[in-house]
Amino acid sequence: MGRKVGAEYLKNDTCQFTVWSPLAEKVEVVLKDRNEPVSLIKDTQGYWEAEVPEVPPGSLYKIRLDEEDEFPDPASRSQPEGVHSWSQVINHYSHDWQDQGHESRNLEDMVIYELHVGTFTSEGTFEGIIEKLPHLEELGVNTLEIMPIAQFPGDRNWGYDGVYPYAAQDSYGGATGLKKLIEVCHQMGFSILLDVVYNHMGPEGNYLSQFGPYFTDKYHTPWGSAINLDDKYSDHVRNFFIQNAIMWLEEFHFDGLRLDAVHEIIDRGARHFLKELSEEVDALEKKTGKHYVLIAESDLNDNRLVTDYSKGGYGLEGQWIDDFHHAVHTLLTGEDAGYYQDYGKAEYLAKTFEQGFIYDGIYSKFRKRRVGNSPKGIAKNKFVACIQNHDQVGNRVLGERLGQLITFEEQKLAAGTLLTSPFVPLLFMGEEFGETNPFRYFISHGDPELVKAVQEGRKREFEYFDQKAEEFPDPQSKKTFEESRPNWNFKEDQSKNTLFEMYKLLLKMKKEGAFHLFGAEDTQTKFDEENKVLQVIASDKETNLMGIYNFGKMPFRVTFSAEKKGEILIASADKKWLGEEEFPKERIKETEVPPKSFMIIKI
């Protein structure tokens, strides 16, 4: 399973320190409450280690390199004083886990709810999330996905600027608060996933390069030099991140990981890092008897991510499909700036319903090249789809959610399109009641020059969008952070509460298999491009199922044969959902699907 790194508390106030620094001549542990440093012993692979007595949990320490500079431990489990200060020894074994009855859940059975710990509740902590679990239970989701929690600078950040991947953010409650959240989730029947970042490290407090060649200049990413996964010394860099994944799964009992932007994990070796990670997690499954899921985020539309090892794939359980989001979003909003210019057709929504990827080798106007490969043969429930997520909301100029961009009827249409689709659904916090507060990009860096660089960089990112510079929210401002919290008084608003009730029913129906036929490989689609209408038709020996999604401005008429009448399972334009129609409960020969609405019919 590889080599553990960091400070591992053993017992009787003894701690094992292990630091990888292959080019150093001397490595010492400096304990805050001792006058003399402790020398570590180097092995042939560049690991320095020693068992050190009289180091109780809570001890603060740094790593001294070559008798000069002192830095926090790259594999620190706790940074109670921030990213530039002392690391802390914690006792992993002190938590008496009470989640033994929790059963692993396959990806295909998950309904995922993405949340940001800092803004999800007013407390902004791991334990603060616990009070909202009854709401999520009522909603019908069964899996939480928390945005990255690796220690980052300050106390406001999306999490993708983390610099200590082994340390749970201290301002969120650290390892203790995180374990309590996971335990309660498991006791209530929730699975919980962690978003991890193995493609870059944040800029502030990132001292990895002081310890060794963790980065390579062979490749560059949007964040600078790439993490070294195939250059000299890369075996041990790979081990650093794989051991991190194993820690979250084994020590913290996470049910799986969401792997951020894997297209920027650059590895040209014969055994790709993602395959090695997947194989190591397979080995952990055999060791623990538990099942874990690995879900990749990628903009490459590459089927290798979820293809079996035997067919040359990486063997991950699932991957996000941005194509679905973009197809729905552009039909609803009409937006065509930036990458949205590649979408906006009912034909494309039909294609993603059929197979997941729209860009399966076809030409992209935005990228000015062909994108993707064929997903043929890949089960649709290996794809995770959404109509909102942290990126697609927060990376807008003003961080507007769908609730700010489209009408109430269109919000119901969007929800129905997602939750009746054959994919694993992912909801973004507050989506279920049409939250209108924005979710914006925010930071709390301590370096003024870095703050300025981020502020200017965010403006450059939106060169494709028409926005005045003075309208950009300041990512460093606490106000930007505070405005990104959901408003939990949604039940006082009739339309928001009605949307919540529709989400509840759709999720209940989905779990009961009402829409499972749409996952069949031979599902048929028809589209009316002029009127922006999609029909999805699937059948088995006993049942025909039809979904009609009307994104246009005119009603769409549906007629059935005399022998096969239709039963409306759900119609978003019904008065029950604050629509203007009252549809019959008996079986029908024909009906109309109003504009900006969807209808599911069993035939």
Annotated binding site for substrate: 258-263, 322-326, 390-395
Dig out the tokens for 138 from the structure.
């009522």
- Kindly list the distances between the CA atom of residue 108 and the CA atoms of 225, 254, 383, 426, in Å, as whole numbers in the listed order: 36, 17, 9, 12
Instruction: Give the C-alpha separation, 573 to 586, whole Å.
Output: 17
Strand, coil or helix: what is 292?
A: coil
**Short-list 184, 181, 166, CA closest to 126:** 181
Instruction: Give the C-alpha separation, 86 to 218, whole Å.
Output: 32
Cβ burial 134-150 (10 Å sphere, 16+ → b, else e): eebeebbbbbbbbbbbb
- Kindly list the distances between the CA atom of residue 139 and the CA atoms of 136, 254, 345, 501, 556, in Å, as whole numbers in the listed order: 5, 22, 31, 8, 31
H/E segment holding residue 571: strand 567-571
Instruction: Using the structure block, give the residue that is written with the tokens 């792997």.
Output: 259
Give me the amino acid identity at 445.
H
C-alpha triplet 415, 421, 425: angle, nearest 5°: 65
- Kindly list the distances between the CA atom of residue 361 and the CA atoms of 134, 142, 183, in Å, as whole numbers in the listed order: 44, 34, 44
Catalytic annotation present for 260 = yes
* Angle, in degrees to the nearest 10, between helices 408-419 and 322-333: 160
Catalytic annotation present for 483 = no
**Backbone Cα Rg of the chain:** 25
Strand, coil or helix: what is 507?
A: helix
Instruction: Using the structure block, give the residue that is written with the tokens 């063997």.
Output: 315
Is 354 within 8 Å of 531 (Cβ atoms)?
Answer: no
Instruction: Give the C-alpha separation, 554 to 321, whole Å.
Output: 29
- The DSSP annotation for 310-321 comes to GGT----SEEE-
Is 499 within 8 Å of 433 (Cβ atoms)?
Answer: yes
The beta strand positions in 141-260, using DSSP E, are: 143-146, 150-151, 164-168, 191-196, 215-221, 224-227, 256-259
Dihedral sign for Cα 173, 178, 180, 186, please.
Answer: positive
Residues 6+ apart with CB under 8 A from 231: 213, 216, 218
H/E segment holding residue 461: helix 448-461
Of 28, 145, 231, 297, which residue is the catalytic one? Answer: 297
Is 357 within 8 Å of 323 (Cβ atoms)?
Answer: yes
Is 324 within 8 Å of 423 (Cβ atoms)?
Answer: yes
Of 260, 276, 342, 409, which residue is the catalytic one? Answer: 260
Instruction: Using the structure block, give the residue that is written with the tokens 């209108």.
Output: 436
Instruction: Give the C-alpha separation, 528 to 556, whole Å.
Output: 10
Which residues does the annotation place in the binding site? 258-263, 322-326, 390-395
Instruction: Using the structure block, give the residue that is written with the tokens 């701690």.
Output: 15
Cβ burial 576-603 (10 Å sphere, 16+ → b, else e): bbbbebebeeeebeebbbbbbbbbbbee
Paired strand residues for 60 = 88
Where does residue 415 rank: exposed (0-12), middle (13-18), buried (19+ CB within 10 A)? buried
- The DSSP annotation for 37-72 comes to -EE-EE-TTSEEEEEESS--TT-EEEEEETTTEEE-
Q: Which residues are catalytic?
A: 260, 297
